[in-house]
Amino acid sequence: MSKTSFLYESLVSYRHKILKIILFELFYTFKYFKKNEKSFKEPHIHPCPYYFNHKLSKFINKKKIKNVVELGCGFGRITNFLADNTNANIFGYELDLEAFESANKNKFTNVSIIHSDILKVNYEKNKFDAYILNDPFFQPTKKNLDIYKNLIKKIYKSKKNSKKKYYIFAINFVKKKRIVFSKFRLLKTITAGPGRNINIYCS
């Protein structure tokens, strides 16, 4: 996919909030620009737009969430933004070595990046208050849906004896995949286009 095609597809995908998407992208791209730093993988994975990151940071600050983890953090676009715009401790898990090394090298203060498979993490040993999923297994296959079910089951099980409220931020999940969050209460949805949304769930 060419960069032109990638840009066109992005504009179509986020068309319901396109002006805000563009304005936030321009502002924060200039703010965080570093030579040779990658913020997302082309051509198949869309980065979470800065407009969505802004909405996440506002929610985290409002709820005074202290420990946030992104499961599949890529090159660290979300983790760095949240570290810069919230008071939370930010964690990221990433299996891809290239993405991990880049995210770890360019991480902001209060960010910890761990090179690990999110399906093998012992969540019971980690006291996270919020989990971010930017659809790391994006292909809509039965195998990936089963992976999501097992992942969410592990998180749910790790928190079953906790009385403390926790949150899941599901970014760009199509309707078919949202079934995996059926045990959680949907608090808020932010929509920018077909399949481009944030669904915030609560325990």
Q: Where are the domains of the chain?
A: 3-202
Q: What is the pTM of this model?
A: 0.90
Q: pLDDT value at position 163? A: 84
- 112-156 pLDDT, tens digit per residue, is 999 999 999 999 888 899 999 998 666 667 888 888 899 999 999
Residues contacting residue 91 through CB under 8 Å, at least 6 positions apart: 67, 68, 69, 70, 79, 111, 112, 113, 114, 126, 128
Q: What is the CATH number of domain 3-202?
A: 3.40.50.150
